[in-house]
Amino acid sequence: MRIIITEDYKAMSTMAARLVAGQLYLKPKSVLGLATGSTPIGLYHNLIDIHRTIGLDFSEAISFNLDEYIGINRNDVHSYHYFMYENLFNSINIKPENVFIPNGCAADLEAECRHYDNLITSMGGIDLQILGIGNNAHIGFNEPDVKFEATTHKVKLDNETIAANSRFFSSVEAVPKYAISMGIRTIMLAKKIILLANGKNKAEAIYKTIYGGITPKAPASILQLHQDVVIIVDREAASLLPHDSTHNCILSV
Ligand code: GLP
């Protein structure tokens, strides 16, 4: 694992955008794994900037999103589909036919999950996966006690996740209870992974991810077994890391 501690959210987002841009520069046909939530918004806005200023080209890129709520229509403002178009896809030149997001309204959810994994495989696998992290160390919607061998599947959201995500809905009751999520195995098959976290409320999850034992109780801890993970965090999310790890790697960009 490489850990980059940045001064703040802005620096975290800039750093992540440069790594994604570098990936696309070297391999325009990259398969990107993308995440939702408030954390990657700064990264996406930076990518839009790089696209506009120096023409970062997404015309050959392919993207797969990590997850989607079950029962929410793709045009609903609460869907992750809507989020991705609003925060990134509408402002870059990615082709709609190269954008893949699980369909949370599929009649046969099991078939949808199998289809999603097969599509990823048929595109050659994910080159670069972006991850945020939940307060309980979930990645995608892989909640504590996840099965590490799971591929894309239907998940029941933890009450903690429902409470955390209720800020995007009118009430806690309005938050869906289920989602489709890439499984841990799907995520671990990505060639490179960048995990982003900012803010004090992510500090414990980041500590467990890097220094805790590898356990399904902290799903992100499995990343310790991945060969190419970069964790980019701001000072607050890094605040529980041992002093040594915060000493030499504070970068301002
Ligand atoms: C959701 C998403 C995750 C995301 C997490 C953290 O539950 N499924 O992919 O990482 O929330 O969200 P935020 O970045 O808003 O803290």
Q: Reply yes or no on whether 201 is catalytic.
A: no
Concerning whether 75 is annotated as a catalytic residue, the answer is no
User: Which atom of ligand 1 lies at the shortest distance from residue 201's CA?
Assistant: 16
136 flagged as catalytic = yes
Task: Give the residue, by CA position, lying nearest to ligand 1 atom 12.
Answer: 37
Name the burial class of residue 122, with classes exposed (0-12), middle (13-18) and buried (19+) by CB atoms within 10 angstroms of its CB: exposed
- What does the alpha-carbon distance between residue 188 and residue 148 come to, in Å, rounded to a whole number? 9
Q: Report DSSP letters for the chain, one per residue.
A: -EEEEESSHHHHHHHHHHHHHHHHHH-TT-EEEE--SSTTHHHHHHHHHHHHHH----TT-EEEESEEETT--TTSTTSHHHHHHHHTGGGS---GGGEE---TT-SSHHHHHHHHHHHHHHTT--SEEEE---TT--BTTB-TT--TT--SEEEEPPHHHHHHHGGGSSSGGGS-SEEEE--HHHHHTSSEEEEEE-SGGGHHHHHHHHHS---TTSGGGGGGG-SSEEEEEETTTTTTS-HHHHHS-EE--
pLDDT of residue 26: 97
Q: Which atom of ligand 1 is nearest to the CA of 132?
A: 10
> For residue 221, which of 160, 137, 161, 130 has the smallest C-alpha distance?
137
Tens of pLDDT, residue by residue, the chain (253 residues):
999 999 999 999 999 999 999 999 999 999 999 999 999 999 999 999 999 999 999 999 999 999 999 999 999 999 999 999 999 999 999 999 999 999 999 999 999 999 999 999 999 999 999 999 999 999 999 999 999 999 999 999 999 999 999 999 999 999 999 999 999 999 999 999 999 999 999 999 999 999 999 999 999 999 999 999 999 999 999 999 986 655 445 544 3
pLDDT at 253 (0 to 100): 38
pTM for the predicted model, two decimal places: 0.95
Among 46, 65, 98, 136, the one annotated catalytic: 136
Residues in contact with ligand 1 (CB, 6 Å cut-off): 35-39, 66-67, 132-134, 140-141, 161, 165
Nearest residue to 132 (alpha-carbon basis) of 176, 187, 177, 191? 187
The closest residue, in CA terms, to atom 6 on ligand 1 is 134
pLDDT of residue 245: 59
